[in-house]
Amino acid sequence: MPIDLRSDTVTRPTDEMRRAMASAEVGDDVYAEDPTVNRLQELSAAMLGKQAALFVASGTMGNLISLLCHAPRGAEVILGDESHIFHYEQGGASAVGSLVYHTVPTQPNGQLALDDLRGAIRNKDNVHFAAPGVICLENTHNRCGGAVLPVEYCREVRALADSVGVPLHLDGARLANAAVASGVSMKDLAAPFDSVQFDLSKGLGAPVGGVVAGSAEFISKARRARKMLGGGMRQAGIIAAGGIIALEKRVDRLAEDHAKARQLAEGLADHPKIRIDVAGVVTNIVLVHLRPPLTPKVLIDALRERGVLAGSPAPTRVRFVTHYDVSGEEIKTVIKTVREVLDRLA
């Protein structure tokens, strides 16, 4: 089998997850009668310090639900120009909710400058402008190499949002990675936000799903939006059981993935054909910047022939994502393979 570092979404459920899924007690979740889903939601809400939570089919669905519940039709979603919501979720908030994306520059550390956010918040009393609907942050930040947003920064954005009466949403797909890397609990990282979405199916290793958390009133709205989007999954306890194992037993081990990412970055950083910000590798994503004339396609295709899979988030970058299905020894193989391929490419 190839060594697959395209994403941590390629992880396979553990044997313990499979056993829990096979024996899960189930009911009809559309009626809120699936006990395993209910347990997952209660556990998630407690971990994030929110009143309630909702199991959803994916992180993309969780983000879309959140935006639809926060912002009325025609309002603006204020977010970074490098955000996952903007790049990789098919413009769902516009297509489904008639919302307008208003992007601001994303800093290399994944933050949105407060002055840029202030400038993006239009006067809702001016009839020429779309009114501000919701501000979105991302933690960890995918296209910024798994950067972690400090909780102090998020509190500053919270204060800004409060000053203009705009809700604040967090795309926390890899929030567990942020918590492990920073030593700050998921609860504290989530505290400044009105709503939080996090994935169970990335580094945590569950096969399907994510969770949205917020106030009880917000989650009541979110449940309706989930049904509208086709997310009423009936006997969903079968997959929710994997998510419970992920949250109870798979969070702390994310530190191993972070160590493997640093191992990979350090092993490649001195090659003259690439550039890696080793100090910026704090979670499980390694961004490799290619020096011209080398292109991502050329490198990715050559690596694939040698049994290493990688991805590309931008025209001059290749991305490697570590996870528990790739061992430290395999990372050594990847380092050796990448260096050999780079040596022979023009």
Kindly give, in sequence order, each residue whose CB lies less than 8 Å from that of residue 183, ignoring residues fewer than 6 positions away: none
Once rounded to an integer, what is the mean pLDDT over residues 281-294? 97
pLDDT averaged over every residue in the chain: 97
- Whether residue 4 is contained in a domain is answered as no
- Whether residue 165 is contained in a domain is answered as yes
pLDDT at 220 over 80: yes
Same-domain status, 16 and 159: yes
- Whether residue 52 is contained in a domain is answered as yes
Same-domain status, 240 and 298: no
Same-domain status, 213 and 198: yes
Q: What is the CATH number for 305? A: 3.90.1150.10
Gap between the Cα atoms of 263 and 4, Å rounded: 16
Confidence grade of residue 314 (pLDDT, cut at 50, 70, 90): confident
Once rounded to an integer, what is the mean pLDDT over residues 62-79? 98
pLDDT at 336 over 80: yes
Once rounded to an integer, what is the mean pLDDT over residues 210-220? 98
Q: For the chain, give the percent of residues with pLDDT over 90.
A: 97
Among 249, 268, 299, identify where a domain stops: 249
Same-domain status, 82 and 167: yes
Task: Please name the amino acid found at residue 159.
Answer: A
72-117 pLDDT, tens digit each: 999 999 999 999 999 999 999 999 999 999 999 999 999 999 999 9
Same-domain status, 161 and 263: no
Kindly give, in sequence order, each residue whose CB lies less than 8 Å from that of residue 125, ignoring residues fewer than 6 positions away: none
pLDDT at 346 over 70: no
**pLDDT for the residue 157:** 98
Same-domain status, 214 and 263: no
**pLDDT for the residue 232:** 95
Same-domain status, 178 and 322: no
Query: What is the count of structural domains for the chain?
Result: 2
Q: What is the CATH number for 133? A: 3.40.640.10
Query: How crowded is the C-beta side of 301, counted as CA atoms within 13 Å?
Result: 6
- Whether residue 33 is contained in a domain is answered as yes
Same-domain status, 70 and 184: yes
- Whether residue 166 is contained in a domain is answered as yes
Among 192, 226, 249, identify where a domain stops: 249
- Whether residue 3 is contained in a domain is answered as no
Among 208, 223, 249, identify where a domain stops: 249
- Asked if 5 contacts 299 with a C-beta cutoff of 8 angstroms, the reply is no
Kindly give, in sequence order, each residue whose CB lies less than 8 Å from that of residue 329, ignoring residues fewer than 6 positions away: none
- Whether residue 1 is contained in a domain is answered as no
Q: What pTM was estimated for this model as a whole?
A: 0.97
Same-domain status, 84 and 213: yes
Same-domain status, 170 and 260: no
Same-domain status, 120 and 65: yes
Once rounded to an integer, what is the mean pLDDT over residues 226-254? 97
**pLDDT for the residue 223:** 98
132-186 pLDDT, tens digit each: 999 999 999 999 999 999 999 999 999 999 999 999 999 999 999 999 999 999 9
Same-domain status, 193 and 336: no
- Whether residue 2 is contained in a domain is answered as no
Segments forming the whole domain that contains residue 98: 9-249
Q: For the chain, give the percent of residues with pLDDT over 70.
A: 100
pLDDT at 124 over 90: no
Instruction: Tell me 127's DSSP state.
Output: T
